[in-house]
Structure 1
Amino acid sequence: MGYEVLVVVALVLHVSFLAYLAVGGYLAWWWPRTIWLHLVTAAWGVAVVAASLTCPLTTLERWAREGAGQSVPDAGFIDRYLTGVIYPEDHVWTARIVLAIVVVVSWAGFVMRWRRRRAQQRASISGQAATYR
């Protein structure tokens, strides 16, 4: 029973990670301090793709499936659950590029909002300083 729970936990964490990878930059528009977590998330995503790393969650899933007596997939999470389901198998790089564009647009929006906030704060501080003179 415990191994089956770990399989589900690994799958939920994988989905959560990928969802955060896609939208975390937009969440940082409202919670600016989270941009650092999103930068780390994106860096890990790029490293996994660029260096063909095995995600620790995939390792956990495989170990838990083995312990539960289930068949252990050769493919990783994305290859098994997303490729051919969310996007066609021959469009893996297209999906990666689209995701990268989504992330870059979210970061650009974050920077624009951050600059606007900073300008508003400076104007507010200048206005307060003038009031006290």
Structure 2
Amino acid sequence: MIYRILADCVVIVHLLFIVFSLLGGLLVIWRSYLVFVHFPAAIWVLLISFKGWICPLTPLENQLRHAVGTEGYTGGFIEHYIIPIIYPAALNFNLQIMFGLVAAVINLGIYSFVYYKLKTR
């Protein structure tokens, strides 16, 4: 039971990290020092996407799920809604590159906006 809860927590952290790496640059307007947290996160997501690497959270989650054993897919919020967002069924290297390009465009747009807002203060 504890491994299932831990695996679900890893999935939630994974999703939050993805959202933060895509949109966290907007927090830089509020607190400029967050650039030192967000920028490396955004670079990490781009590296994962463009190099075809696997995020370390994925094997951790898999280990925790394996520790639970095979209990069949009964579903639940985490498995049904969050996991397909993080792990699309048709994920391949080309799709991963596309996600990386989308992440780069989003972050370039956000940082352009942040630069403009900070410059006009």
TM-score bracket relative to the smaller structure:
0.7 to 0.9
Identity of aligned residues (%): 22
2:84 to 81, 87, 91: 81
Q: 1:10 to 1:95 in 2, by over 3 A?
A: same
Higher CA-based Rg: 1
What is the TM-score normalised by the length of structure 1? 0.69
Q: After TM superposition, what 4+ stretches of structure 1 lie above 4 angstroms from structure 2?
A: 88-91
Instruction: Tell me whether 41-50 or 8-17 shows the greater mean CA deviation.
Output: 41-50
Question: Which runs of 5 or more residues in structure 1 are unaligned?
Answer: 72-79, 118-133
Question: Which runs of 5 or more residues in structure 2 are unaligned?
Answer: 72-82
1:29 match: 29
User: Quick one: higher RCO (CA 8 Å, sep 6+), 1 or 2?
Assistant: 2
2:77 match: none
| Residue type of the alignment partner of 2:120 | R
Instruction: Tell me whether 107-116 or 3-12 shows the greater mean CA deviation.
Output: 107-116
Partners of 1:18 and 1:10 in 2: CA distance: 12
**Aligned: 1:105 with 2:104:** no
Q: 1:106 to 1:70 in 2, by over 3 A?
A: farther
Root mean square deviation, CA, Å: 2.3
Partners of 1:43 and 1:98 in 2: CA distance: 13
Which residues in structure 2 correspond to 1:113-132 (within 5 Å)? 113-117=117-121
Partners of 1:99 and 1:48 in 2: CA distance: 11
Aligned length, in residue pairs:
106
| Residue type of the alignment partner of 2:55 | C
Partners of 1:4 and 1:89 in 2: CA distance: 24
Partners of 1:50 and 1:89 in 2: CA distance: 13
What is the TM-score normalised by the length of structure 2? 0.75
Q: 1:77-105 CA distances to partner (integer Å, 9 max, x unpaired)?
A: xxx62335xxx868824443233211111
